[in-house]
Amino acid sequence: MHQLPVLAAASAATFVLAVLSAVAGFGGGVLLLPVFTALFGLRVAVPMLTLTQLAGNASRVWLNRRELHWPLVGWFATGAVPFAVAGGLLLAHAPLTPLKRLLGVFLIGVVVWRRRTPHPRRPGDRAFTAVGAASGLGSALLGSVGPLTAPFFLAYGLSRAAYIGTEAASALSMHLSKIVAYGAGDLLGRQVLLFGIALTPAALAGTWVGRRIVGRISDRVFVICVEIGLVAAGLLFLAGL
């Protein structure tokens, strides 16, 4: 497959899912992973997704900078940073077939967990260290765990802008750690870096558009669409596709 059509397809998917992430605060990364996996393969897709998430989360932090809850970001990063580094180093040597199966189980499990626990109890600040640790390890190995961590940020009681910005700032600390680990594990090759840079404008544009339409679509409809996509992607990974 020629590079230009691949880049066009990846850019289109990045833009659309960046819009969705900016509107609801989660969902884009985990849905983008199957697209990148089909185009590039899993070991390239995960670090490439991290680079695009880096741009998208940084822009969401900037757009919502006045509403950030910094103490929560700090507690999350305390757990996320070391576990993201460990997971990033592990990815370089993890066998791909079992990892794909694990990813399939994870994606379907996210939907089941969210359906069974739609409103977790309000967590305390320090509980986000554990949330960050699980998120850092899972994100480094599986690309994105936003749908699993989002309920905890929502249960904390943050308003829309504060939630989106704080979740993005927390994720940013994790993604920066993953980049360091992927570099140490020789996963940031020329293709990953070039495509990551090339996809950044699509991620930024999608975030800006999403910010403009926040509140204009139903969260319920969006979540249903995300969950359908998660189950479909999970079944494809379990089937070995």
In this prediction the pTM is 0.74
Helix axes 219-238, 3-24, angle to 10 degrees: 140
Residue 1's pLDDT is: 47
- For residue 121, what is the DSSP state? P
- Percentages helix, strand, coil for the chain (3-state, rounded to 5) are 80, 0, 20
Q: How many CB atoms lie within 10 A of CB 215?
A: 8
In angstroms, the CA 4 to CA 111 distance is 34
In angstroms, the CA 32 to CA 165 distance is 20
Residue 2's pLDDT is: 61
Q: Nearest Cα to 73, choosing from 204, 176, 180, 172?
A: 172
- pLDDT per residue of the chain (241 residues) written in tens, 0 to 9: 467 788 888 888 888 877 777 766 566 677 777 788 888 887 888 888 888 888 778 888 988 888 899 999 999 999 999 999 998 888 877 776 787 787 778 778 877 877 887 676 788 899 999 999 988 988 888 777 766 677 788 778 887 778 888 988 999 999 899 999 988 888 888 888 888 888 888 888 887 887 777 656 566 666 676 677 678 777 877 876 5
In the numeric block, which tokens belong to residue 115? 């359906």
122: left (phi over 0), alpha (psi -120 to 50) or beta: beta
Residue 70's pLDDT is: 93
Q: Nearest Cα to 27, choosing from 236, 239, 219?
A: 219
In angstroms, the CA 22 to CA 214 distance is 7
In the numeric block, which tokens belong to residue 65? 């900078």
Q: How many CB atoms lie within 10 A of CB 99?
A: 18
76 CB contacts (<8 Å, ≥6 apart)?
128, 129, 131, 132, 135, 170, 173, 174
Contact 106, 142 (CB under 8 A): yes
10 CB contacts (<8 Å, ≥6 apart)?
35, 36, 39, 195, 199
